[in-house]
Amino acid sequence: MGKHRFSVKLTKCAALALVFGVIGGTAFSGANYAMDSYFAQDADGKEAKEEEGDRIKPVSTADSSVVSTDISDVIEQVMPSVVAITGLTQQEIMSFFGDRTIESESSGSGILIDKNEEYLYIATNNHVVQKTNALTVQFFDETTAPATVRGVAPSNDLAVVQVALSDLSEETLDQIQIASIGDSDQIAVGDAAIAIGNALGYGQSVTTGVISALGREVTFQDETTGKTISSRLIQTDAAINPGNSGGALINTKGEVIGINSSKYSDTDVEGMGFAIPTATAGPILKDLIENGKTTTTGSPYIGIYGVDVTEEVSSQYNMPIGVYVVQTVEGSGAEAAGIVPGNIITKAGEQEIRSMKDLQDCLSGLKVGDTVDVTVQIVNSGGYVEKQIPVTLTAQSD
C-alpha cells in the first residue's frame, strides 16, 4: 500500500514537472519573441536616400523592411556625416625671458548639415571654434581641408563652419554625406542614444546609452558676455567627453537628434552627458547658414520674466490663465512693444499660451527678428481687457 502511494506521488510529481517545463518553456520563448519583436521594431534598414545629381547625399536608415539589432549598421551609415575639427589658438605668456606667444591645439567634432554650389556647412559648438585662429576639418576618409567660421550663436553654444568644395577631392565628395536630421520632440526617456565624435582628439569614436531626461535645464556662463544662461537640453548616459563637442547624438534610425556639448557636462559626474536638441538648434543653424556673421543670433525671445497663472490661481484670484509678466528685460522686444508688468500673455500668434513652456515652445520655431502678435490681458476697472501687441523677437544673448 505504501509503495503504491509513493508510485502515485512520483507520477504526479513527474506530471507537474512536465507541465511546469511546458509553461516555463513557453514563457521563455514568449520573452525571447517579445524582445526580438521590440528590437525589430526599433532597428532600421541601412539604405541611404539618394537624389539624382547630388554628389553628397543625405543619410537615412529608416527603411523598416530591413531589420537589425546591430547598431554597427547604423553607425556605418552615419560616420560619413561626422567630422573632426582641429583649432589653433595663440596665447601670450610671460616668462623670465620676456613675453612670448605659444600656439596650442584644440579638438572638437562637427556634423555635415548642408551644402550649396560653393560650400559645405558643418554644425558644431561655439566653444569649439571660439578664439581659434585657424580651423582644419578631417573627414570620414581621413582627408583634411581648411575651414572658416560662418557664424556663431554663443548663447546657445552653437556655430557653423564652412569648407569650400573646391578644397575637396572627388573621392572625398563621393564618400561624405549630409546628415539626416531627426525630430528631437519625438524622442522619449529610455530611447536608445548613440554619441559619435572626436573624443579627446584621438579620432572618431562611438559611445552608447539611453535618453536619461528631456528638457533638462542646465545653466552656464557665457564666456563672451559674462551672462548666465539657461538651456533646456537632452540628458544621456552615453559618454560625452572633451572632443565630442559638436558631434552627433543619434537615434537608432541614424537621425541626428542632438548636438553633443561637453561644455554642459561635469567631469565629477559619470553618466550625465548633454546635447542640444535639434528642435532648438535647427532654426539657429539655418539662420547662421543663411545670414552668417552679420545676423544677430541666439535664442529668440520676447524678453520677459513671467510666472504661470494656473487654473488654481485663476479661480482663486479671478485672473486669466496664461503667463503673468513680472518684469520686462531692458532693450527687449517686449519692452519696446509696450508690454508691462501685470500684463498676462494668453496667446502668441495662433497658439494659446497657458504657461512659460507654451511660450518657449511657440518661439522655438521662430528666429531673431521675426515679429509675433502677442495677445495680453490688461487690468481695467477690476476686470481685464484684451489687446494684441506685435513684438519683434530679440536674441537672448543681447
Just list the catalytic residues.
Answer: 127, 157, 245
| Strand boundaries in the chain, DSSP class E | 82-93, 100-115, 119-124, 134-138, 144-153, 158-164, 192-197, 205-221, 228-236, 248-250, 256-260, 273-277, 300-301, 304-309, 322-328, 344-348, 351-352, 371-380, 383-392, 394-395
User: Residue 61 and residue 75: Cα distance in Å, rounded?
Assistant: 10
Listed residue (301, 274, 304, 300) closest to 287, CA to CA: 300
Whether the Cβ atoms of residue 315 and residue 328 lie closer than 8 Å to each other = no
Residue 300 bridge partners (DSSP): 395
* Amino acid making up residue 331: G
Instruction: Write out the three cell numbers for 345.
Output: 500673455
- 373 membership: H or E segment, kind and range: strand 371-380
The three-point CA angle 222-225-227 to 5° equals: 60
Answer left, alpha or beta for residue 215, where phi above 0 means left and psi between -120 and 50 means alpha. Answer: left
Using CA atoms, how far residue 376 sits from 316, 344, 384, 390, in Å, is: 20, 5, 9, 11
